[in-house]
Chain A
Amino acid sequence: MKKLIGIAAAASLALVLAGCAGGDGGTGAAEGPKALDELVVGFAQVGAESGWRTANTKDIQASFEEAGIELKFSDAQQKQENQIKAIRSYIQQGVDYIAFSPVVETGWDAVLNEAKAAGIPVVLTDRAVDSKDESLYVSFLGSDFIEEGKKAGQWVLDEYADVTEPVNIVQLEGTTGAAPAIDRAEGFADVIAENPNLEVIESQTGDFTRAGGKQVMEAMLKSNPDIDLVYAHNDDMGLGAIEAIEAAGLVPGQDIKIVTVDAVKDGMQALADGKINFIVECSPLLGAQLVDIIKTLNDGGTVEPRIITEETTFTQEQAIEALPDRQY
């Protein structure tokens, strides 16, 4: 008899578990769509390490407020452990959706599995994770960093198309291990490989910050007196590099050309002033697209696993034109 009860209990438990798993499909069809003002979305931001990131934060917060969806926001200060803690706390609070920009690419499987077990769909914004299990997130909304690196590389290739001497390039990398740092380096390297004169003679991380870019550039200028071009993985490091170049008595944009990625306002200003030569845009304004994804999922629809944000590039002339309307 006892054995029977045990089996029955196990069976009913299995049923309950199956029930949970059934709900995990993300369709939510049984419950039907929730009213927007009942939805809670948890967003785990990387930090506020650059002007780009703060523009991204502001846009997401504004978009959710406009849509009337409650947004729980956390700032990980560029630390993966903080971000994992934030995501865990969202799972415990039972939010409806979780969105986050992973600080680094790897090490997310455990926490994403917890979210999956809790039946909370995860949307990645702006940065990808390196995981074989693609069922861990419903969509990745963001830029194609390899493409950005290629665009930067293409400009360099065109600029130095007729050069017969070696061109010394230094690269200011983003945070070591971060997706944009890896991909922007890769895309750039792929394209400039076409011209053997173009050589990246040194590459160092500036952690996506101005102070980092400045300090690295200072040291590079001392040990490599013949730098022709700086490729910085974001505007802020480029702005730091400008300071270092000026302190060395050189003219940024002329003596040493600068190519960056992002196109934040301070960067665009420097581009318009002729201190930067070319900027590949990486738009932080993806709040509206994120809200759309959440709405679609809430209505029981499906979304593409990869959504790319629309982006362009800027030359100095284009920067002067675009600057007055720049939001961030």
Chain B
Amino acid sequence: MSALLARLVASRLFWPIVMLLVLFTINLIAFPGFFAVTLRDGHLFGSLIDILRNGAPTLIIAVGMTLVIATRGIDLSVGAVAAISGAVACSIILGSPEPANPATVAVAVTVALIISLVLGMWNGFLVAVLGIQPIIATLILMTAGRGVAMLITEGQIITVNSPPFKALGSGFWFGIPIAVIIAAVVFGIAALVTRRTALGMFIESVGINPEASRQAGVRARGLLFVVYTFSALCAAIAGLILTANTAAADANNTGLFIELDAILAVVIGGTSLAGGRYSLVGTLVGALVIQTLVTTVYTVGIPPIATMVFKAAVVTIVCLLQSPTTTEALSGFRRRLALRAGKGVAAS
């Protein structure tokens, strides 16, 4: 029993999950109906559904970010790419004679996604071909991208009146938010393609030692290219959901600082920024922790002035608990406790 417990505690996901449960408990105390999910107007309704739906864009971006970070890279441009894709889609819909036609929306979404592929390839080109450090390479698009989005929207917030587009962000399919379904599909595909094939291992090997992987026959260059392109694609999908959520493209605010949330989700999930081993499930938990944190602030009614401090405190606690030094110290403490209780460590 205690061996099982020890393994659980040693797991990278232990502390993030504990933190998630703690946040849930805080919510439950502040608002007893927190876990209640009801059916309203034919769709699911409740705080948990809000967390899933509002957390979907962060999760989608974090999935792409996980793979990038596993290659020892980082993609700072995701927020800007999200803004661009939203801006592109909304201006196409606004410019069309039939904004409510699903075909128009399909065209707008497709064009936005294709543009994001080009942007991702640009990042991939800078990192993989020119060998620029990822943080610098993607910083270019992070800064310039928002400017591009501003140019597309001409500095305005573009409001579109298109029910099929709006459904992407706030619609439901069989009662489940469409945004959540999209996030689940992206997550599923990423997990399937990288974990059911050798691709995930290649990504990890490039992250651990690019040179050794190359000599072992892994095409690092092509792999980096694909990973950055995928990250941009994820960012664009998230951008479309964020934009559709309010049916308005806001070049300045869509996906603002979402790159930091995504990186945080990846790190909370136990993937090291130094590259190598990654955990998509960890990223999922990380994204949920971040969104639950935001919802907790609103549910508990933490005053706006204290919000940032509260968030910082929670994130700091998670990171401290997760750090190797803390883990070491905790397990040493447990060993001593076990010895003092007269039980050998081996016996447990």
Contact = CB atoms under 8 A, between A and B. Distances in A.
B159 interface: yes
Contacts of A219: 47, 50, 295, 298-299
Nearest to A202: B301
Interface in B280-329: 294-295, 297-299, 301, 303-305, 307
Contact of B242 (A78, A203, A211, A266): A211
Interface stretch (B112-120, B230-238, B246-254): B246-254
Contacts of B21: none
Interface in A47-78: 47-51, 54, 57-58, 75, 77-78
B293 to A, nearest CB: 12
Contacts of A57: 155
Interface stretch (B38-46, B193-201, B336-344): B38-46
A48 B252 contact: yes
Contacts of A47: 252
A243 interface: yes
Interface size bracket, A side: 35 or more
A147 interface: no
A51 B242 CA distance: 17
A36 interface: no
Nearest to B251: A48
A291 interface: no
B72 interface: no
A223 B30 contact: yes
A92 B1 CA distance: 69
Contacts of A50: 157
A209 B252 CA distance: 10
Given A204-B301, A219-B299, A214 B245 contact: yes
Interface in A155-176: 173, 176
A240 B304 contact: no
Contact of A54 (B31, B50, B157): B157
A223 B150 contact: no
Contact of A218 (B41, B50, B248, B304): B50
A6 interface: no
Interface size bracket, B side: 35 or more
Contact of B156 (A54, A75, A203, A215): A54
A205 interface: yes
Contacts of A266: 159
A101 to B, nearest CB: 14
Contacts of B40: 248-249
Interface string A137-166: 000000000000000000000000000000
A214 B246 contact: yes
B170 interface: yes
B175 interface: no
Given A54-B155, A222-B47, A243-B170, A211 B304 contact: no
A21 B40 CA distance: 69
A240 B246 CA distance: 7
Contacts of A205: 304, 307
A220 interface: yes
A51 B157 contact: yes
Interface in B210-262: 242, 245-246, 248, 250-254, 256
A216 to B, nearest CB: 5
Contacts of A127: none
The 7 closest A-B pairs by CB, nearest first: A219-B298, A205-B304, A210-B246, A223-B31, A176-B304, A48-B252, A222-B47
Interface of A: 47-51, 54, 57-58, 75, 77-78, 173, 176-177, 202-205, 207, 209-211, 214-216, 218-220, 222-223, 236, 239-240, 243, 247-249, 266
Given A54-B156, A218-B54, 14 more contacts: A49-B252, A49-B253, A54-B155, A202-B301, A207-B253, A209-B250, A211-B246, A219-B295, A222-B31, A222-B34, A223-B298, A240-B246, A243-B170, A243-B246
23 contacts: A48-B156, A51-B157, A51-B159, A57-B155, A77-B252, A176-B305, A177-B305, A204-B297, A205-B307, A210-B246, A211-B242, A216-B298, A218-B50, A219-B295, A220-B298, A222-B34, A222-B46, A222-B50, A223-B47, A223-B298, A236-B157, A243-B170, A247-B45
